[in-house]
Amino acid sequence: MAVTRTPLIAGNWKMNLDHLQTVALVQKLHWTLRDAGHESDSVEVAVFPPFTDLRTAQTLIDADKIPFALGAQDISTHDSGAYTGEVSGTFLAKLDCRYVIIGHSERREYHAETDEVVAAKVQAAVKHGLVPVVCVGETAEDLEKFGASAVPAGQLEIALAGLPADADVVVAYEPVWAIGSGQAATPAQAQEVCAKLREVVARVVGEEAGVRTRVLYGGSVKSANIASFMREPDVDGALVGGASLVADEFAAIIRYQKHVGV
C-alpha cells in the first residue's frame, strides 16, 4: 500500500516566550524561510507555543497568511467545568489549532501522567477534531532493562486503543535519554523504533493507518543531524525542542532537503 507522507517539522516551544516574543519569532521564521525560497508544500511546519501565546500566534498566522500549522502543548480530558488551570479541546479548536502534543515525557515525569491519562487525552483531541501528536519514549534505564522499542511500543498501544480506523494521529518517538542532552539517537536507532511504532499503529488502528501515519523523531534534533534522520524510511519528521526557539536554526532544520540533500 503506497502513500506519500508529507514530512512534518514541529517546534515545541515548551514554557518559553511571551506573546510579544512569539510575534518576533513567527515573523522572523517566516521571513527566513521565504527569503530562502522554501516551498511550503514540501514540508509541513507546525509551532506549539505556550497557551498564553496561542491567540497571538493564530492572529498573526491568519493575518499574514503564514503557512504554519498551530498546535497546543497539552489538552484536558474534560470539555468544561470546575477544572482550574486546564484547557479544553473546545477552546483549542476555536483557535484553529490543528495539533496538540499529548504524553510528552515532561508531562509524564513532572505531572505523573499515566498511559491511561494519555489515552484519555488522545480521545479528547480526536473528539474535538484535533490531531494528537502522541509522544512515547524510554529512559536510559528502560532501554537497558527492556531493550529498544519495548517501552514506547507499549505506551503507544495503550494510547491508541479504541481509536476509529480513520483517526488522524501523529506519533513522536522521543528517547528521554537524548532530550536536551546534545546526544541524539543514531539514525539507525531512530529507524528501528519508528518502524516498530508504525507496526503498532497498523495493529491497533488498522493497516491503512499504519501506512499513512507520520512518525517523528525528537531528541537533540539540530540542523547538523536532521537530514540523516530524514533519510530513514520510517522517520517522517521531527519534534524539535530548544532548536525551534532560534529562527535561523529552526529554518535550517525545516530546509533539510536543501542545505544537505536527501
**Closest CA relative to residue 242, chosen from 256, 253, 231, 257:** 253
Phi, psi of 196 (to 5 degrees): -65, -40
Q: Is residue 213 classed exposed, middle or buried when 0-12, 13-18 and 19+ CB atoms within 10 A define those classes? A: buried
Residue 104 grid coordinates: 510528552
Q: Helix, strand, or coil here: 214?
A: strand
Would you please indicate which residues are annotated as catalytic (active-site) residues?
104, 174
Alpha-carbon distances, residue 85 vs 92, 105, 122, 195, 262 (angstroms): 14, 20, 19, 37, 44
Contact 77, 128 (CB under 8 A): no
Give 170's strand partners.
133, 214
> Which grid coordinates belong to 155?
505506551
- 3-state DSSP helix/strand/coil percent for the chain, to nearest 5? 45, 15, 40
- Whether the Cβ atoms of residue 13 and residue 244 lie closer than 8 Å to each other: yes
